[in-house]
Structure 1
Amino acid sequence: MSDPVDAEPHGDDTQVEVEAKAAVSQVDHAYDLDVKAEVADYKADAIAAEDAEHNMTVLEAVRAYPMASFWAFVISFTIIMESYDVFLINSFVALKSFKAQYGVLSNVLVNGKMTQEYVIVTKWQSALQVSGQLGALIGVFLAGPLTSRIGYRYAFITGLMLLNVFIFSFYFAESMPVIFVAQLLEGIPWGIFIANAPAYCSEIVPIKLRAPATQMLQMFWAIGSIIVGAVCYVYENVDGPHGYKIPIALQWIFPTPLAILIFCAPESPWWLVRKGRLEAAAKSVERLGRRSRLNSSETVAMMRRVVEMEKTEKEPSIVELFKGTDLYRTLIVCGVYAAQNLTGNLIANQAVYFFQQAGVSDKLAFALGLITSALQMIFVMLSWILTTYFGRRDIYLWGSLVNTVLLVALGVAGSVGTSAASNYATASLGLIISVLFTLGPAPASWVIIGETSAIRLRPLTTGMGRASYYIVEIPCIFLGSYMLNPTGGHLAGKCGYVWGATGLVCLVTAYFFLPEMKGRSYREIDILFNRHVPARKWKETEVDVQDDE
C-alpha cells in the first residue's frame, strides 16, 4: 500500500502538469489564430492587388508603373550585346576586308556570271558562327544558379564586366583559332543576359505590360542588327584590318554605361519575396511604380501568395525542371526557344550572306540587310499591339503558318533557275520572311518564355530554355552554312524547303501544346498547369479568385 504522505505531492505535480499543458495549448491556439489572421490579411491584400492588375488598361498600367517600363527598357538593352556580335560575325563572312584576310579564292556566281572571289571556307564560317553560341550555352547554365544566389542586378553587372574584358581578346585576335576562342568567351556573358532578361522584364511589370516589356527584347535584337548593318555598310569597301577591327571595337560603347545604369536599378520584387525580404520587395515595388496609384503592401502580398503556393523545403534545382507539371512548363519554354532556329530565323541572322548567295551584288546585299533590320524593329513594335490585345497563342500559330508557307515559296523561287528575276524574287522572299518572323512567332515567343515558368524556378527555366536554343542552333548553323556556302551545298533559296519542313513540325506541335496565357496572373497560370487543363481550353477556363491550390 502506498504512503498517503507521498501521494499528496504526486497529486499536486499532476495538477501542475495539467495546468501547464492547458497554458501551452492556449498559447498554441492563440498562435494558430494569429497565423490564420495573418494569412487571411495578406490573402485579402493579394486578391485586391491581383484584381487591380486585371482591371488596369494598358495605358493605366504604364501610368501606374512608369519606372518599371523604363527599367525593362534598360535591361532589354543588354540583348544588343549578343545581337550585335551575332550579326557582326555573320556579316564578316560577307565583308571584303575580312574575307581578304582570312578567306581563300573560290569560284562564285555573281549576277549570273562565275567569278573568283575570296570566300571564308565552310568549316570556319560555321565554326565562327557557333563559337559564341557555345560560350552562351555555358553562360545560360551559369545564369540560373548565379541569379538565384545574388539576384538579377548583380548577375547582369557581372556579365557586363566580363564582356568588357573578353572584347579585348576578339579585337587583338590575329588568327581564326584565336577569333574562335574570343567569340566563345564573349558568349558566356551573352548567356547570362539572354537567360535573365525575359525573366526580369516579366517580373517587374503588371499583367497588362508583360507582352510589350518582354517583346522589347526582340526589338533590341533588331536594333543590334541595324547597328551592325549600318557599320558594315560603311566599312564594306574599306581595305585592311581596320575594315573589320573598328566594328569590333564599337562593342565597348555599351557595357560600362549599362552596368552603371543597372547598378541603380531596383531588384526584382519577386526575387526578393522568394528570399523572404518582404520590406525590400515593398521598396522595390515603390521604385517601379507611382505610390499614389498602387499599394506596395498589397502587391507584395500578391507575390507572397504565389511564392507560398509554390514553396517547398528544397532549394530550386535543375532536377525539378523535369518533374511533374514543371516538366511540361520546361518543355514549352525549350520548344518555343528551339523553334526560333527551325522556322527560318537563321535566314534573318545570315541576311547579308543569304542575299549574296541569292545572286545580288555585295553593295545591294548590305543595303537589303540594313533594310531588313529596320523593318524588323518596326514590325516588333506592331507586334506589341497584336500580342497585348489578341493573345500569344493565336499570334504565334498564325504567324508560324504564314512563315511556313513563305518558306516553301522561297524554295520554289530558288528552284526555277538562275536569272535576274529569280534572284530578286529569292532575295525579296528572304527579306519578307525575315521581317514577318518578327511580327508573329519571334516576339510572341519572348512573352511565352517570360510567363510560362514557375516563379521559384524562373531563372533556371529560362536558362534551360535558352540552352535548348543553342543546342538546336549549333547544328542548324552548320546545316545553314553548308546549304548557302558556294563550297558546300550552294542551295540559295532552295533552303526554304528544309526550313519549311521543320517549321511545319513546330507549328503542329505548338497547336497541341501551347496554351494561351494572355491576361493571366502568375497564380492563375500555376493553377491551370496544376489542373492539367489542355492547352486549347485555357482561354475558356475560369479560375476563382479564392483558389490557392
Structure 2
Amino acid sequence: MSNPTEKEYGGGAPEVGEVEGAFNQVEHTHAYDLDLKADVADYKADAVEAENAEHKMGVIDAVKAYPMASFWAFIMSFTIIMESYDVFLIGNFVALPAFKQQFGVWDANGSPPQWVIETKWQSALQVSGQLGALIGVFLAGPLTSRIGYRYATLTGLMLLNAFIFIFYFAKSLPLIFVAQLLEGLPWGIFIANAPAYCSEIVPIKLRAPATQMLQMFWAIGSIIVGAVTYRYNGRLDSSAYKIPIALQWMFPTPLAILIFCAPESPWWLVRKGRLEEAKHSIERLGRRSRLNSSEAVAMMRRVVELETSEKPPSHIELFKGTDLYRTLIVCGVYLAQNLTGNLIANQAVYFFEQAGMGTNTAFALGLTTSALQMVFVMLSWILTTYLGRRTIYLWGSAFNVVLLVALGVAGSVDRTHASNLAQASLGLIISVLFTLGPAPASWVIIGETSAIRLRPLTTGMGRAAYYIIEIPCIFLGSYMLNPTGGNLAGKCGYVWGATGFLCLVTAYFYLPEMKGLSYREIDILFKRRVPARKWKETVIDVQDDE
C-alpha cells in the first residue's frame, strides 16, 4: 500500500522546508482573503456614505457640488442639435419653394397647382438619415464600450464634418439620399452616447434635467432651421437651401474641441478598472471641497460589482433575464416617440401647409412651435424632478391622445377657414405639449433604466428600435399628409391617437418610477422583479446588495 504522503509529493517523504513552505502558503492565502474581505468592507462603507450623501442632496445642493458635471452634460447634449437640425431641415425642404422647384414635379391637379416633391422621394429623404443612424447606433455600443464616450463622440464629429460636403454639393435627389444616409452614421453615435453619458456624470437629483437637455437641444435645432428657412423661403435660387445646408458646419469642430477637453464618464472608467482615473474624473466634475471622490468611486465599484460578469458586454445579454425587461422599457419608450404624434412636430411646416396655411404663415408657425417647445422642455425639468418620470409620462401621454383625437375630428368636418385654424392650432398644441411631458421624460427613463455595464449597448438598441419604427411611420406620415397620397391633413390624428393609446396602456402596466433611486436600488428592484406599479412604495435598505 502506497504512502499517501508520497503520493501527494510525487514520491518520497517531504523535506522539512517543503512542509514549512506549504504552511506558510496556507497562512499567506488566509491573510490575503482576510485583507480582501477587509478591503470590500471598507469600500462598501464608503459606498454607503456616498449614496446617502447623494440622497440627502437637494437640486440646488447638487448643482453647487457638481457645477462642471452640469456643464459637460450641456456640451454632450449639444451633439443632438446636429441630428435635430438635419431632420427638421429635410422636413422643411419639402415645403421650401426653391427646393421643390429644383427637385420636384409639377402637380397640375393641386389646389392650387404647384411644385411638389413626389411622395416616394419625400419619404425617402426623410428616412435616409434614420437608416444611417440605425447603423450608427449599432456601431456606437461596441465602440463606446471599448474606447469610451469621449473618443467615440469625437470620431462621430469628425465623420460628420466630411459627410456634410456630400450634402452641400449634391445635385440630385439620389445623391442627397446618400449624403443623408452617411450623415446618419455619426448621429447614431451621438444619440446613443449622450443620454448615457449625461446620466452617468451627474448625481441622482440632476439626472432628470441633465438628460432632458437632449430634448431642449432637439428644439433648438428646429428653431435654428425654422429661422433660417423662414428667412430664405422667399428666394427661388439654390441659395435658399444651400445656405441652410452649409450652416451645419457651425457645430462639429467647436464641439470636438470641447469634447476632447471633457472628462470621461467615471462609471465607464470604473467598469474598466481604472479607479484612479475615475477619481480624477469625479474631481473634475465636482467641487473637491463638497465631495469625497474616494467614496464616490467606492459607490460606483459597488454597483459595477453587482453586475460583474466574466464575459465582455454583448448585445445577446440585452435579451436575457431581467436585462430583457430593461431593454424592452428603453425600446418601448423610444418607440412611443414615433407612435404618439411626434412626427407632426417633425413635419410641422408641411403639416401647417396641408392644413390650409400659406407658405409664410406655415414657416412662421413652425418657428413658433420650435420656440415654444424649448420653453416647455425647461418647464418639464421642474415637473419631472419633483413629480417623477412615470407620473409625467402617463399624464402627458393621456392628454396627448385626447388632443390627437380632437385633431382628427377637426380634420373630418368640411374644410373652412375655421376648421383650418382649428387643425393648425391643435397641431401646434400637440407638438408643444409633447415636449412638456412624454418627450423629455423619455430621455430620463432611457438614461436610468439600463444596467451600468450594458448602458452603451442598451441605449444604442433602444435608439435602433426608434429608427426601425420611425422608418415606416415616416412613409405613413408622408403618405397621409401629401396631396398626391392620402391627403388626410388633420384626420391623421385618428391614426396617431390609436397608436398613442396603445403606448399609454403598455406604459401604465410596465413603466416603473425611478425618481430618487440610486443605480444600486434600480438594479435590485429589477432583480427582485418588483411590479412596475409598486416601485414607488418599495424601500431598499442601504446595506442590501441583492
Q: How far did residue 23 of structure 1 move?
A: 1.6
Distance 1:348 1:277 in 2: 43
Name the structure 1 match of 2:373.
376
Q: How far did residue 16 of structure 1 move?
A: 4.7
Structural mapping, 1:301-380, within 5 Å: 301-380=298-377
Contact persistence 1:140–1:466 (CA under 8 A): yes
Name the structure 1 match of 2:158.
161
Name the structure 2 match of 1:205.
202
What's the secondary structure of 1:50's corresponding residue?
helix
Residues 1:24 and 2:39 are matched in the alignment: no
Residues 1:127 and 2:124 are matched in the alignment: yes
Distance 1:71 1:360 in 2: 41
Contact persistence 1:143–1:192 (CA under 8 A): yes
4+ residue stretches of structure 1 with deviation over 2 A? 10-22
Q: How far did residue 106 of structure 1 move?
A: 1.2
Q: How far did residue 335 of structure 1 move?
A: 0.3
Distance 1:499 1:11 in 2: 85
Name the structure 1 match of 2:88.
87
Residues 1:189 and 2:186 are matched in the alignment: yes
Name the structure 1 match of 2:426.
429
Structural mapping, 1:71-150, within 5 Å: 71-107=72-108, 114-150=111-147
Name the structure 2 match of 1:280.
277
Which of the residues 439, 445, 458 maps onto 1:461?
A: 458
Name the structure 1 match of 2:55.
54
Name the structure 2 match of 1:226.
223
* Amino acid in structure 1 at the alignment position of 2:30: H
Which of the residues 234, 238, 248 maps onto 1:241?
A: 238
Q: How far did residue 20 of structure 1 move?
A: 3.0
Name the structure 2 match of 1:518.
515
Which of the residues 133, 149, 154 maps onto 1:152?
A: 149
Structural mapping, 1:364-513, within 5 Å: 364-513=361-510
Q: How far did residue 27 of structure 1 move?
A: 0.7
Q: How far did residue 417 of structure 1 move?
A: 1.1
Per-residue deviation, residues 63-107 of structure 1 (Å, max 9, x unmatched) = 000000000000000000000000000000000100010111115
Identity %: 80
Q: How far did residue 14 of structure 1 move?
A: 6.4
* Amino acid in structure 1 at the alignment position of 2:253: T
Per-residue deviation, residues 132-184 of structure 1 (Å, max 9, x unmatched) = 00000010000001101110001111000000000000000000000000000
Distance 2:264 2:470 in 1: 32
Q: How far did residue 209 of structure 1 move?
A: 0.2
Distance 1:514 1:17 in 2: 62
Distance 1:107 1:198 in 2: 47
Distance 2:338 2:358 in 1: 27
Per-residue deviation, residues 26-67 of structure 1 (Å, max 9, x unmatched) = 111110110001000100000000000000000000000000
Distance 1:522 1:482 in 2: 43
What's the secondary structure of 1:105's corresponding residue?
strand
* Amino acid in structure 2 at the alignment position of 1:199: A
Q: How far did residue 25 of structure 1 move?
A: 1.5
What's the secondary structure of 1:456's corresponding residue?
coil
Q: How far did residue 22 of structure 1 move?
A: 2.2
Q: How far did residue 239 of structure 1 move?
A: 1.2
Distance 2:319 2:261 in 1: 36
Q: How far did residue 115 of structure 1 move?
A: 1.3
Query: Could you state the TM-score of these two structures normalised by the residue count of structure 1?
Result: 0.97
* Amino acid in structure 2 at the alignment position of 1:469: Y
Contact persistence 1:108–1:486 (CA under 8 A): no
What's the secondary structure of 1:414's corresponding residue?
helix
* Amino acid in structure 1 at the alignment position of 2:473: C
* Amino acid in structure 2 at the alignment position of 1:60: D
Distance 2:147 2:521 in 1: 28
Contact persistence 1:139–1:191 (CA under 8 A): yes
* Amino acid in structure 1 at the alignment position of 2:142: P
Distance 2:396 2:176 in 1: 37
Name the structure 2 match of 1:176.
173
Per-residue deviation, residues 499-527 of structure 1 (Å, max 9, x unmatched) = 00000000000000000000000000000
Q: How far did residue 13 of structure 1 move?
A: 2.7
Q: How far did residue 420 of structure 1 move?
A: 0.3
Contact persistence 1:399–1:441 (CA under 8 A): yes
* Amino acid in structure 2 at the alignment position of 1:13: P
Q: Provide structure 1 residue ranges, at least 5 long, that are not aligned to the other structure.
A: none
